[in-house]
Amino acid sequence: MCPLAAMLALTAKALYTPLETIDQACVLVEDSSIVRLGTMAEIELPAKAKVVHFEDCVLAPGLVDIHIHGSVGHDVMQADAGGRRKMEEFLARHGVTSYYPTTVTAPEEITLAALDRLADAIEASGDGQAGRAQPLGIHLEGPFLSHARRGVHPPENLAPPTLKTFEKFWEAARGHVSLMTIAPELDGAPQLIVQASRRGVCASLGHSDADLASARKGVAAGARHATHTFNAMRPLDHRDPGILAEVLTNEHLTADIIADGIHVDPAVVRLFCKAKGDDRAVLITDATAAAGMPDGVHRLGSLEVEVREGKCLYQGNLAGSVLTLDRAVRNTMQFAGWDLQRALRAASLNPARVTGVAKGVLKAGGDADLVAVNLKAEVRATMVKGVLIQ
């Protein structure tokens, strides 16, 4: 780890903003902000600057994971600050500079306690935590999910979508709920989507058995994203297309996908990328505490899941993943035929836009959150708030 210097200059083969490309690039960083970026010919290096060269690499915005339950043995709902720190260090080594800890359906009192702890972590973010991925907000996955498409979420803890229940979660999280996965066909779902959206929460369609009409009602109420597309959704049928028709064809909806080659076939990842395009495709991990760990038994909320040959299973069903976001970028390049710039955008700018946070883009005056990768999307270094991790 490179400690914060008065001025740091990074040079590279190229830089993706990610919308624009700068060849033979240079980025000047002071404290936690980008001072200037451009070509090496344009920027005169200050005498006081420490220079770090990445000749064979591309500089790009730090990756943003909006759906992650844990990594390296830590589940985000656990009361384990040391485990969370190790997880954040692990994420940074894989290019992730910002993330949204994601809950899983559990007894209400467990969820409320977890939301309170996660709010503490978010409010303390950046306070002596440089060099680690930063939690920006909470993704509430459950309990407003369909019983028919609940996946491994415990059926006894699912709840109807009511403002009263949401208020409890909102207060426990002290307003730090940024995303909420919800099945739009449930009674009360459109009304809750309206209320949550007014508070700036991104309502995301997911864990849903909705027909096309119900999905469209959810969108009309304010839903603007979809959670792990294809997984825990009514399958696409040519006469009864259901929720997937809305997710894939609505140009106002962003959508995310688990591109690990297990949750979704590579050919379907390619289809998804063609349908959602450069602007609306988002990569997530849905990683559990098992990510970065050997095969064995690990935690997912209150559940014990088994990892075997890259699959994370609960009672024989897929239960999250062991994917890292840099691997998702590499897989998307392979599965969808996307180039590095497009695949990186789907893991940085696009997810940042889902939550409306000022991340995922490199610009003068912006946060010094970036990643250096080679042309195969292998991480060479990550910078979080001006601190370089190599």
The C-alpha atoms of residue 284 and residue 273 are separated, in whole angstroms, by 13
**What pairs with residue 52 in β-bridges?**
10
Going by the DSSP 8-state scheme, the letter that residue 287 receives in this structure is: B
**What are the start-end ranges of the E strands in 96-183?**
96-101, 134-135, 138-141, 177-182
Q: How far is CA 247 from the centre of its chain?
A: 18
The C-alpha atoms of residue 100 and residue 9 are separated, in whole angstroms, by 29
- Is-contact 247 215, C-beta < 8 A? yes
User: Which of 209, 107, 109 shows the shortest CA–CA distance to 156?
Assistant: 107
Structure tokens at 264: 């979704």
Count of CB atoms situated within 10 Å of the CB of 245 = 18
| 286 catalytic per annotation | yes
Cα torsion 275, 278, 281, 285: sign: positive
* Residue among 65, 211, 286, 326 flagged as catalytic: 286
**Count of CA atoms in the C-beta half-sphere (13 A) of 16:** 26
Beta strand pairing status for 33-39 and 70-71? Answer: unpaired
Active-site residues, by number, are 286
